[in-house]
Amino acid sequence: MWFVERRKYVQEENYVYETLYTLANGRLSLRGVDEFSNYKMPGTYVAGIYDKHDAQVTELVNLPDPLGISIYVDGEPLLLDKSTIKSYMRALDMKNGTLNSSIVLELTNGKLIQLDSQRFVSRSNLNRFGIIYKITPLNFSGKIFIENYIDNTTYNGKLDPANKIQHYAVLKTGEMMPGLFSLVKTYDKGHLIAIRTALKGYDSKGENILRYRKYRLIGNNPSEIYTVFIREGETFTLEKYGAIVTSRHSSEPLKDADANVGIYFAEGVEEELKRHTEIVNKTWELMDIQIDGDETAQLGIRFNLFHLYQCASDDPTVSIGARGLHGEGYKGHVFWDTEIFMFPFFLYTLPKYAKNLLLYRYNTLPGARKNAHQNGFKGAQFPWESADDGTEVTPKWGEDYLGNPVRIWTGDEEYHINADIAVSLVHYHIVTSDDDFMRDYGVEMLLEIGRFWASRVEYNERNDRYEINRVIGPDEFHEHVNNNVYTNYLAKWNLLKSREYYYWLREKYPDKFEVLKYYLGLTDEEVESWKAIAEKIYIPKKEDELLIEQFEGYFQLEEHEITEWDENGLPKWPKTVDLTRLGETKLIKQPDVVMLMLVLPEEFTKEEMRVNYEYYEKRTMHKSSLSPSMYSIMGLKIGDTHNAYRYFLQTVLVDLEDNQGNTNNGFHAASAGGAWQCVVNGFGGMCLEKNGELNFEPWLPEHWKSLSFRINFKGVPLKVTVTKEKLCIETRVEMPVKVRGNRFDLRPGKNYFELVG
Ligand code: IFM
């Protein structure tokens, strides 16, 4: 189960497949457009290349499309939308990280041609991509034309015409030896982007077939056109070499792109492809999940892991946007999706990328300090939506569910992102034991966030308590609410953790501590005040009552029962509800109280989890793709296994089945991270306990024969295999774990635990 196949060409499905077939290496991304289609939405993105120009807010820039290629037979371009499709197959090969296709087209004059191709975006050299075409005229010989070009007419907002915008000016275009180039510059930030492509072509004997060439500039698009003579039944090969170099990585992008293509061309595309596939294959050894007995789940989970990996970068100044590098949904912005949903996957499988995600926050700390200052707070306030510098980039205006313009308040009120970052910092430290990171970066962030919370809380004298009012919790249907439990609980936890790490640094690295204390102007008194505040932060939870009120006043809101579900099993709006007044109802967009219990599971009992799950699950509309995975995990924790499996499938298939209806706009990266958590924390039952040990309480659906996954815990690789009868944990070194709450010492090798009885 390594291939995501498409066996039928239906034009209307192209945009969704372009997302599914996106190839990326954490830096460069090419949406999976079909070069031989007229109906496409090209997307070329480089992580970190954001620009604002005339857009509402800074956004990830859609760069020129380097994939341009046309083949003309008797003047007719080969086009899926025009020719008769005799056979069609495209497939994402996830094992090797390539996009393959094999099609046979019949032209209007009856000529048949077979086109096979293999595309990749290299993990070995992050500026490169390549495509190998094998082309066979099946019933004719003669002259054809092959055109290679760079499309400099791309723009952002194809799916959102009101926000249509080209973010770059074309500075230079031309021919080079070999091939073509474009050099463009973004309007505001002045990023330079050099695009180089070149073709190599040879017949079955290896003879060069690209000898007759003309260079043309068509509008702003550089283009080279070759005249080629081909023979019936004989396959010829075209190799496309591509490099994109930006001023984020080079002081002379065009020169470097040119040099890059020169070496690449001389070495041959196969060499680069080989290096690329070796890296991807090796990564699978660290991150793969095997589910025996459920092909849908197996394919689905690999699809999610593959695309998460494609977004992972070695560059600590970029993070992962809500829609990956796969489209323009949410403008390439980074949300809590990264820390709370995607981060655990990287933390336990590919920790070097987890570290980079945290370093991105460190590198955007100056922007976060600026936000706090501008809003009248202290320390650092991380933005709800983040781009390249940590300042707030949430748009102020959007549309409600009926298409009416509405003010978006999340950028003003969704403060919990700060605690979410703190949670990921603390988890990173527990799971990796990376003290150096905490010393050099982590503690500084925790202290600055601690300061922020201490300045954000409001003291209520009458009740002698601290409150956090006018906020939005994870459930975004309810705005301007007071004392949202998710926010308050995490703020309290965060203040205590920030204080704990202040003393940790003092104890472990006194020199660094003194420098940081001086630099931040912190005093012991200030840090001690955090404890006093935390102790008095109001958590709207009644003594002896297990059900938690999401925020003050929630229980008084209107009740609307969900009674109908769509073909994807997702709730339909109750007929009684007015969609412009959702805030007056008990309906919620996504888990909020339940979310808290998953972010800090060690703080709540199973009974509390059950009671809150049962209450809130009935009222959740799942209007965010972040929602089903969390209910799946909680369902497994409290024994609602039937719904848990259903929610798991909705999660792993969110893009493969486009069940939220917006996969055209990019990959649902948070849901993909949630899918990993469903398998490992849900079915695998892995939970990080308060004392920093792992506990396993697995449960498998009836038809699953086995589940196996790998994790890295405190630098030790572990392989976990679960069947109905046994749990096996393979390790190289001794370490303690718990199984169903009982403590064991693992010995090197395979350790078996009975699950029956
Ligand atoms: O971060 C999420 C949020 O929780 C719900 N709306 C979409 C955002 C981006 O995925």
Residue 494 has pLDDT above 90, yes or no: yes
Q: What is the pLDDT of residue 329?
A: 97
The answer to whether the CB of 670 is under 6 A from ligand 1 is yes
The per-residue pLDDT for range 247-297, each reduced to its tens digit, is 999 999 999 999 999 999 999 999 999 999 999 999 999 999 999 999 999
- Average pLDDT (222-240) is 98
Q: Are residues 49 and 75 in the same domain?
A: yes
Q: Are residues 669 and 696 in the same domain?
A: no
d(CA 594, CA 401) in angstroms, rounded, equals: 24
Amino acid letter for position 597: M
CATH code (residue 162):
2.70.98.40
* Residue 544: pLDDT band with limits 50, 70, 90: confident
Residue 688 has pLDDT above 80, yes or no: yes
Count of domains observed in the chain: 3
574 is a domain residue: yes
Handedness of CA 517, 519, 520, 521 (dihedral sign): positive
The answer to whether the CB of 336 is under 6 A from ligand 1 is yes
d(CA 309, CA 305) in angstroms, rounded, equals: 6
Q: Are residues 578 and 690 in the same domain?
A: no
* Residue 214: pLDDT band with limits 50, 70, 90: very high
The full DSSP string for 116-135 is: EEEEEE-SSSTTEEEEEEEE
The full DSSP string for 136-204 is: EESS--EEEEEEEE-BTT--B-TT-GGG-B--EEEEEEEE-SSSEEEEEEETTT--EEEEEEEEEEE-T
Alpha carbon nearest to ligand 1 atom 4, residue = 474
Q: Which residues contact 507 (CB under 8 A, 6 or more apart)?
A: none
Closest CA to 474 of 336, 621, 304, 273: 336
624-626-630-635 Cα dihedral, nearest 10 degrees:
40
Q: Are residues 655 and 559 in the same domain?
A: yes
The per-residue pLDDT for range 702-712, each reduced to its tens digit, is 999 999 999 99
3-state SS class at 440 = helix
Q: Give catalytic residue positions.
A: 476
Q: Are residues 603 and 724 in the same domain?
A: no
Cβ(68)–Cβ(51) under 8 Å?
A: no
* Residue 83: pLDDT band with limits 50, 70, 90: very high
Alpha carbon nearest to ligand 1 atom 7, residue = 624
Domain range for 692: 685-757
Q: Are residues 347 and 483 in the same domain?
A: yes
Cβ(484)–Cβ(470) under 8 Å?
A: no
347 is a domain residue: yes
- Average pLDDT (658-686) is 97
* Residue 484: pLDDT band with limits 50, 70, 90: very high
CATH code (residue 523):
1.50.10.10
The per-residue pLDDT for range 373-387, each reduced to its tens digit, is 999 999 999 999 999
Taking the centre of ligand 1 as the mean of its atom positions, its distance from the CA of residue 139, in whole angstroms, is: 53
d(CA 645, CA 632) in angstroms, rounded, equals: 7
- Average pLDDT (568-588) is 96
The answer to whether the CB of 486 is under 6 A from ligand 1 is no
Last residue of a domain, one of 634, 668, 683: 683
187 is a domain residue: no
Alpha carbon nearest to ligand 1 atom 10, residue = 322
- C-alpha triplet 253, 259, 262: angle, nearest 5°: 140
Alpha carbon nearest to ligand 1 atom 6, residue = 624
Q: What is the pLDDT of residue 93?
A: 99
The answer to whether the CB of 420 is under 6 A from ligand 1 is no
Taking the centre of ligand 1 as the mean of its atom positions, its distance from the CA of residue 385, in whole angstroms, is: 9
| 3 state SS for 329-354 | HHHHCECHHHHHHHHHHHHHHCHHHH
The per-residue pLDDT for range 1-47, each reduced to its tens digit, is 999 999 999 999 999 999 999 999 999 999 999 999 999 999 999 99
100 is a domain residue: yes
* Residue 722: pLDDT band with limits 50, 70, 90: very high
273 is a domain residue: no
Alpha carbon nearest to ligand 1 atom 5, residue = 624
For residue 474, give the ligand 1 atom closest to its CA.
4
Q: Which residues contact 543 (CB under 8 A, 6 or more apart)?
A: none
Q: What is the pLDDT of residue 187?
A: 98
For residue 668, give the ligand 1 atom closest to its CA.
10
DSSP structural state of residue 585: B
The answer to whether the CB of 335 is under 6 A from ligand 1 is yes
Q: Are residues 156 and 8 in the same domain?
A: yes
For residue 330, give the ligand 1 atom closest to its CA.
9
d(CA 420, CA 599) in angstroms, rounded, equals: 9
Closest CA to 421 of 379, 484, 463: 379
The answer to whether the CB of 669 is under 6 A from ligand 1 is no
Q: Are residues 664 and 520 in the same domain?
A: yes
Taking the centre of ligand 1 as the mean of its atom positions, its distance from the CA of residue 560, in whole angstroms, is: 23
Q: What is the pLDDT of residue 541?
A: 80
Q: What is the pLDDT of residue 347?
A: 98
- Average pLDDT (577-596) is 97
High-pLDDT (> 90) share of the chain, %: 97
- Average pLDDT (303-329) is 98
Q: What share of the chain is helix, strand, coil (3-state, %, to 5)?
A: 35, 25, 40
68 is a domain residue: yes
Residue 589 has pLDDT above 80, yes or no: yes
Cβ(652)–Cβ(679) under 8 Å?
A: no
- Average pLDDT (167-188) is 97
Q: Are residues 613 and 742 in the same domain?
A: no
High-pLDDT (> 70) share of the chain, %: 100
Q: Are residues 222 and 349 in the same domain?
A: no
Q: What is the pLDDT of residue 43?
A: 98
The per-residue pLDDT for range 405-446, each reduced to its tens digit, is 999 999 999 999 999 999 999 999 999 999 999 999 999 999
CATH code (residue 713):
2.60.420.10
Query: pLDDT averaged over the chain?
Result: 97
The answer to whether the CB of 388 is under 6 A from ligand 1 is no
Taking the centre of ligand 1 as the mean of its atom positions, its distance from the CA of residue 688, in whole angstroms, is: 25
Q: What is the pLDDT of residue 543?
A: 73
For residue 337, give the ligand 1 atom closest to its CA.
1
Both structure tokens of 384: 């709800």
Taking the centre of ligand 1 as the mean of its atom positions, its distance from the CA of residue 335, in whole angstroms, is: 7
Give the largest CA-CA distance in the chain: 91
| 3 state SS for 227-272 | EEEECCCCCEEEEEEEEEEECCCCCCHHHHHHHHHHHHHHHCHHHH
Backbone dihedral region of 724: left (phi > 0), alpha (psi from -120 to 50 degrees) or beta? alpha
d(CA 218, CA 598) in angstroms, rounded, equals: 56
- Average pLDDT (671-693) is 97
Backbone angles phi, psi at 598, to 5 degrees: -90, -30
Binding residues: 336-337, 589-590
For 716-753, letters b (16+ CB in 10 Å) and e give: eebebbbbeeebebbbeeebebbbeeeeeebeeeebeb
Last residue of a domain, one of 683, 710, 734: 683
Last residue of a domain, one of 660, 683, 706: 683
Q: Are residues 540 and 663 in the same domain?
A: yes
Q: What is the pLDDT of residue 540?
A: 87
Q: Are residues 703 and 584 in the same domain?
A: no
Q: What is the pLDDT of residue 542?
A: 75
Taking the centre of ligand 1 as the mean of its atom positions, its distance from the CA of residue 627, in whole angstroms, is: 10
Amino acid letter for position 238: L
For residue 323, give the ligand 1 atom closest to its CA.
10
The answer to whether the CB of 624 is under 6 A from ligand 1 is yes
Strand 716-723 to strand 726-731: parallel, antiparallel, or no bridges (unpaired)?
Answer: antiparallel
252 is a domain residue: no
Q: What is the pLDDT of residue 553?
A: 96
Alpha helix (H) ranges present in 1-44?
Answer: 14-20
Alpha carbon of 552 to those of 541, 555, 599, 610: distances in Å? Answer: 10, 8, 21, 21
Binding residues for substrate: 336-337, 589-590
The per-residue pLDDT for range 53-77, each reduced to its tens digit, is 999 999 999 999 999 999 999 999 9
Residue 532 has pLDDT above 90, yes or no: yes
Closest CA to 35 of 141, 110, 128, 118: 118
The answer to whether the CB of 408 is under 6 A from ligand 1 is no
Alpha carbon nearest to ligand 1 atom 9, residue = 322
Q: Which H/E stretch holds residue 491?
A: helix 485-508
Q: Which is more confident, 401 or 129?
A: 129
Taking the centre of ligand 1 as the mean of its atom positions, its distance from the CA of residue 170, in whole angstroms, is: 34
Q: What is the pLDDT of residue 68?
A: 98
